[in-house]
Chains A and B, each alone.
Chain A
Amino acid sequence: MFGYIVQRILAAVPVMGFVALFVFLMLRLTPGDPAAIIAGDTATPEQLQRIREALGLNDPLHIQFITWIGNLFQGDFGTSVISGKPVIELIAARMEPTISLALTTIILSVLIAVPLGVIAAWKHGTLIDRFVMLISVLGFSVPVFVIGYLMISLFSMQLNWFPVQGFRPIGDGLGQFLHRIALPTFTLTLLYIALIARITRTSMLEILGDDYIRTARAKGLPERLVLMRHALRNCSVPIITVIGIGFALIISGVVVTESVFNLPGLGRLTVDAVLARDYPVIQAVILLASLIYVVINLLIDIAYVLLDPRIRYS
């Protein structure tokens, strides 16, 4: 197990290297000159030249890349071209809203979706099953911003239960935090409920046809235990996979939800940086996102081993 984890971490290094190179090249190949954006419309060619020099944009590509990677290893992610602040500070400031939203969304979704999926599979073909499927089709097909604005219009404008926008860190008190994050969470949750309920239902349906479920029933176990102890545990691998990927997706960019609810999260940081050609920020954010994917995938794989004794990595 330990050897396996070490091996996986080592294997992540080249992955991260490729991502870094790819991001770097893609940004250099897209049209648009950051110097021109910084300098503004009225800049003279001399001013432009000076800015380029300051940013190192005149160096050959491989020198720029090596400089960047070298700095990364010293913990220097660069400085935002636009705001002049260190990238690492910018990202750190945006982490909390995004991670908070990801956690609340995933927790709420799992709590609702897994039981829904289990019941739908157990009552396969009945009205309950169809109702769950209907919810899940809705969750997939209604765009997030539509749900978001509907939520705002209903719960904020008319009922006045929740504030329209904004974010309060959890340090300001749990009540304040939850009050602000509730609407964006509900908005995103619908999609994740759809996703997780569906995968739970599908895997449960498959597992419920398995021989050991028949064995469990032949032992005279109550249905509740047949479902929870024997079936659900065997479904955990696909469910965990979807949860993990869902979590990574939220962290690496829920631009729409963050925009609708005016949350100062990573998604909006990324979009702003892309629009402004703020290379150092874009590079750092994408690297961070890929790092999160690698870590979450590793966690998923470790969960497999813990959940399913048949999976052993050597």
Chain B
Amino acid sequence: MSDNLLEIENLRIALNGDPEQEVVKGLDMEIKPGQTMCLVGESGSGKSLTALATMGLLPKVLVPHAGSIRMKGEELLTATPQRLRKLRATAMSMIFQEPMTALNPVARVGAQIEEVLEFHSDMSQSQRKRRAMEMMEAVHLPDVDKMYRSFPHQLSGGQRQRIMIAMALIMRPQLLIADEPTTALDVTTQAQILSLIRELREEQGTAVMFITHDMGVVSEIAEDVTVLKLGEVMETQPLDQLLRHPQTDYTRDLLRSVPSHVPRAASPDSSEKVVLSTQSLCKTYGGSGFIFKSREVNAAQDVSLALQHGRTLGIVGESGSGKSTVARCIMRLIDPTSGQIMVGDEDIAQMHQRDLKARRRKIQIVFQDPMRSLNPRREIGESIIEGPLNFGVPRAKAVERARELLELVGLPASAVDRFPHQFSGGQRQRIAIARALAVDPDILVADEAVSALDVSVQAQVLDLLAELQKRLGLGILFITHDLGVAAQICDEVMVMQHGRVVEYGPAGRVLGDPREEYTKALISAAPGRHWDFANFRPFSESGRAATSAPPSA
């Protein structure tokens, strides 16, 4: 018998077991005891399916119809449901991407951890409680007594992921499968969870199958890396080897697409006129109520910014920082509490909705999730011309313009009569951009507009935005949580925290030489900041990293 903990051999998973519709196509992988293996790939690569197949948790329609998954020599694909239930939590455990939804919302978190012991140990109730609290200590949760009795919604995302980890590791399994466990978390929280996983791995000797799409995260946690594409293994290499000497074109492309944390050179002209500015913009929630006054929350406080024609201002921050609140106030999707919003030379902050209508064509927004922001039952052409029609453009002219716009964003003009589901995520975001441009705005607000996209697609959409900006002279207000993305597209950057502006200035200065503690903390938490992925080497080996702009890929 080999000394491997997990052996996956020629794993084939197909829709309804039909070999014509394979989604995992003959995957081989080995994990040794205590090893951390990263599975990297874009959406559709089959990385999550491989993990679910190992756990025996594949949805019914996806059938592993060939190959083998062995845990310490024991075949898992043909194991009985009873046997699998026994192995889960004791031999192998899994944590998931969305800590927000992975816990039962109506059960106390302590009870949810204890439940594992209820079925996999013969501890008494008091022993179980003691062990659960020990484990909560081990994942560094504060105030364990109180937290034990909390419900999931009372905890932050990071705390919930800690609960998940405590639950997964309480029986000391030899294998932890982590499926994008930090993707939904803020960078600083992400850094903490990654270090927690590293710490527990060393303490317990657990092997980790770590699934991610993020090369930065890979560089922080992996020992070995398997790169997947469309259900096939591209290559498997030790981390350093992979980052320095990728063997396949696919891996090279993947690495080149990683947004570098080195800010790009700012657009040269900084004397252009200001198209959008805010003065002391504030948004307060709450403070009213029928009998009992609700608590006031300052979602945005005293935000002053200025965006110039043809330039990009990034608002960077973690969840709850107020960055989206600012964007929504500027769009007047929500009403600001006080302050000014100057679009051109008009203050729209308190303008009546009726008067706003005419101003809306000057400023348009692109949202994060193009699947949900395009009406699924309308042809995309209809979605694109809706704005112009509202402003009185004749239909024929609007349709013609829609076709031009589609070509402008890199799609065929003939796509106008197709529906959103017929496009990929990246294409849908291009459509959303075309829709925003249909009324010839001066200002484009992009609210996490590339966050839901795979890195290679993300890079393309960022290029598209930059090109459109050059051609149309758009002022772009770019809201993002991703410092790498901000570094790639912004001329100026505003860092926000808890509704307040922390730091605001040229992107090169703020990201390259931050002055505020919080900005420094954000930057140092960003995964993979030591690696110059696009040049296949660490920054420490590439001379003066902070100033050298990456080559255009």
The residue in chain A whose Cβ has the minimal distance to the Cβ of B286 is: A314
Which of A29-37, A42-50, A213-221, A257-265 lines the interface with chain B?
Answer: A213-221
Interchain CB contact under 8 A, A220 and B107: no
> Given the complex of chains A and B, what is the CA–CA distance between A214 and B289 in angstroms?
39
Checking A214, A230, A308, A309 against B96 with a beta-carbon cut-off of 8 angstroms, the contacting residue is A214
> Which of A210, A217, A308 has the largest count of B CB atoms less than 10 A from its CB?
A217
Interchain CB contact under 8 A, A7 and B291: yes
Interchain CB contact under 8 A, A220 and B104: no
- List which B30-74 residues lie within 8 A (CB) of chain A: 55, 57
Cβ distance B110 to chain A, nearest Cβ, rounded Å: 13
> Given the complex of chains A and B, what is the CA–CA distance between A221 and B112 in angstroms?
11
Cβ distance B59 to chain A, nearest Cβ, rounded Å: 9
The residue in chain B whose Cβ has the minimal distance to the Cβ of A218 is: B94
Given known A218-B55, A309-B153, A314-B292, contact A234–B104 (CB-CB < 8 A): yes
0 or 1 for each of A217-252: is its CB under 8 Å from B? (1 = yes): 111111001000110011000000000000000000
> Given the complex of chains A and B, what is the CA–CA distance between A222 and B291 in angstroms?
47
Interchain CB contact under 8 A, A220 and B57: no
> Given the complex of chains A and B, what is the CA–CA distance between A212 and B98 in angstroms?
10
Cβ distance A149 to chain B, nearest Cβ, rounded Å: 44
A288 within 8 A of B: no
The residue in chain B whose Cβ has the minimal distance to the Cβ of A212 is: B104
The residue in chain B whose Cβ has the minimal distance to the Cβ of A209 is: B59
Note all chain B residues with C-beta closer than 8 A to A19: none
A171 within 8 A of B: no
Note all chain B residues with C-beta closer than 8 A to A218: 55, 57, 88-89, 93-94, 168
> Given the complex of chains A and B, what is the CA–CA distance between A225 and B167 in angstroms?
17
Interchain CB contact under 8 A, A233 and B107: yes
Checking A214, A216, A217, A307 against B106 with a beta-carbon cut-off of 8 angstroms, the contacting residue is A307
- List which A168-220 residues lie within 8 A (CB) of chain B: 210-212, 214-220
Given known A218-B94, A220-B89, A314-B289, contact A211–B101 (CB-CB < 8 A): yes
B15 within 8 A of A: no
The residue in chain B whose Cβ has the minimal distance to the Cβ of A214 is: B57
> Given the complex of chains A and B, what is the CA–CA distance between A23 and B291 in angstroms?
31
> Given the complex of chains A and B, what is the CA–CA distance between A219 and B85 in angstroms?
8
> Given the complex of chains A and B, what is the CA–CA distance between A308 and B104 in angstroms?
11
Note all chain B residues with C-beta closer than 8 A to A14: none
Interchain CB contact under 8 A, B98 and A211: yes
- List which A1-53 residues lie within 8 A (CB) of chain B: 3, 7
Interface bin, chain B: 20 to 34
Interchain CB contact under 8 A, B292 and A309: no
The residue in chain B whose Cβ has the minimal distance to the Cβ of A312 is: B153
Interchain CB contact under 8 A, B105 and A219: no
The residue in chain B whose Cβ has the minimal distance to the Cβ of A217 is: B57
Given known A212-B104, A309-B153, contact A220–B116 (CB-CB < 8 A): yes
0 or 1 for each of A303-314: is its CB under 8 Å from B? (1 = yes): 000011110001
Interchain CB contact under 8 A, B153 and A314: no
Interchain CB contact under 8 A, A219 and B102: no
Note all chain A residues with C-beta closer than 8 A to B86: 220
0 or 1 for each of B162-174: is its CB under 8 Å from A? (1 = yes): 0010011000000
Checking A3, A219, A233, A310 against B292 with a beta-carbon cut-off of 8 angstroms, the contacting residue is A3
Interchain CB contact under 8 A, A215 and B164: yes
Interchain CB contact under 8 A, A220 and B106: no
Interchain CB contact under 8 A, B57 and A308: no
Interchain CB contact under 8 A, B103 and A215: yes
> Which of A3, A214, A215, A221 has the largest count of B CB atoms less than 10 A from its CB?
A215
Cβ distance B50 to chain A, nearest Cβ, rounded Å: 15
Note all chain B residues with C-beta closer than 8 A to A216: 104, 115
Interchain CB contact under 8 A, A310 and B119: no
B130 within 8 A of A: no
> Given the complex of chains A and B, what is the CA–CA distance between A215 and B86 in angstroms?
15
Note all chain A residues with C-beta closer than 8 A to B290: 7
Note all chain A residues with C-beta closer than 8 A to B164: 215
Given known A215-B102, A218-B55, A310-B151, contact A230–B107 (CB-CB < 8 A): yes
Interchain CB contact under 8 A, B151 and A309: yes
The residue in chain B whose Cβ has the minimal distance to the Cβ of A223 is: B81
The residue in chain A whose Cβ has the minimal distance to the Cβ of B294 is: A314
Cβ distance A305 to chain B, nearest Cβ, rounded Å: 12
Given known A307-B106, A309-B106, A314-B289, contact A220–B90 (CB-CB < 8 A): yes
> Which of A210, A221, A230 has the largest count of B CB atoms less than 10 A from its CB?
A221
Having A308-B106, A309-B151, one finds 4 other A-B pairs with CB under 8 Å, namely: A212-B105, A219-B88, A220-B88, A309-B153
Question: Which residues of B come within 8 Å of A, CB atoms?
Answer: 55, 57, 84-90, 93-94, 96, 98, 101-107, 115-116, 119-120, 151, 153, 164, 167-168, 289-292, 294
* Listed A/B pairs (19) with beta-carbon separation below 8 Å: A211-B96, A211-B98, A212-B101, A212-B105, A215-B104, A215-B167, A216-B115, A218-B89, A219-B88, A219-B115, A220-B86, A220-B119, A221-B85, A222-B119, A225-B115, A229-B107, A233-B104, A234-B105, A309-B153
Which 4 pairs of residues, A with B, have the shortest CB-CB distance? A220-B88, A211-B101, A309-B151, A212-B104
